[in-house]
Chain A
Amino acid sequence: MMEMESSKTVPAGVSVQGAKVQGVSVRLSKVTRTYGDVRALSELDLAASPGEFVVMLGPSGCGKTTALRALAGLEQIDSGAVYIGGKDVSRLPASKRSIGMVFQSYSLFPNMTSAANVEFGLKVRGFSSAERRKQAHEMLEMVGLIEQADRFPHQMSGGQQQRVALARALAIKPEVLLLDEPLSALDAKVRANLREQIKQLQREVGITTFFVTHDQEEALSLADRVAVMNNGNLEQFGTPTEVYSSPETDFVASFVGTVNVFYGTVLDDKVAIVPNVGNFTYVRRTGTPAPGDRAEILVRPEAITVKGDLEGEYLVSDVTFLGSNVRIRVQKEGSTFTIIQGSSDIDIVAPGSRASLDAKGSAILVRSKL
Chain B
Amino acid sequence: MASVIGVPAKSSGVGGSNVLRVGKVFRAVVLGAVGLFFIVPVISSARFSFTGSSAGFSFSAYSKLLSDPQFWSTLFLSVKIGVGTVTLSLAILIPTTVWVHWKAPKIRRVMEALSLLPLVIPSVVITLGVITSFGSLPNIIMGTPVILALEYVVLALPYTYRTLDSGVQALDIKTLVEAGQSLGAPFRKILWWVLLPNLKSGVLGVVVLAFAFCLGEFAVASLLSFTTFAVYLVQIGQTQASEAIAFSLIALLFTWIPLSIVTVVFSRRAGKKSRRGGGVLMSSQSVTELVELSE
Contact = CB atoms under 8 A, between A and B. Distances in A.
B15 interface: no
A111 B259 CA distance: 37
B13 A35 contact: yes
A41 B13 CA distance: 15
B277 A106 contact: yes
Chain B contact residues: over half helix, strand or loop, or mixed? loop
Nearest to A35: B13
A35 B277 contact: no
B153 to A, nearest CB: 40
A35 B11 contact: yes
Contacts of A257: none
Nearest to B16: A35
Nearest to A111: B280
Contacts of A36: 13
Contacts of A35: 11, 13
Nearest to A38: B13
Interface string B222-265: 00000000000000000000000000000000000000000000
B13 A110 contact: no
A110 B277 contact: no
B280 A110 contact: yes
Contacts of B280: 110
Interface string A19-45: 000000000000000011000000000
Interface string B257-295: 000000000000000000001001000000000000000
A294 to B, nearest CB: 46
Interface residues of B, number: 4
A36 B16 CA distance: 13
Contacts of B13: 35-36
Contacts of A106: 277
Contacts of A110: 280
A196 B21 CA distance: 38
Interface in A84-136: 106, 110
Interface string B4-16: 0000000101000
Contacts of B277: 106
Interface in A230-277: none
A141 to B, nearest CB: 30
Contacts of B11: 35
A106 B277 CA distance: 9
Nearest to A110: B280
B281 to A, nearest CB: 9
A224 B117 CA distance: 63
A110 B13 CA distance: 29
A106 B19 CA distance: 14
A267 B36 CA distance: 82
B52 to A, nearest CB: 55
A226 B11 CA distance: 30
Interface in B1-53: 11, 13
A33 to B, nearest CB: 10
B284 to A, nearest CB: 16
A198 B277 CA distance: 27
A36 B11 CA distance: 10
Nearest to A36: B13
A35 B11 CA distance: 8
A160 B245 CA distance: 63
B264 to A, nearest CB: 30
Interface of A: 35-36, 106, 110
5 contacts: A35-B11, A35-B13, A36-B13, A106-B277, A110-B280
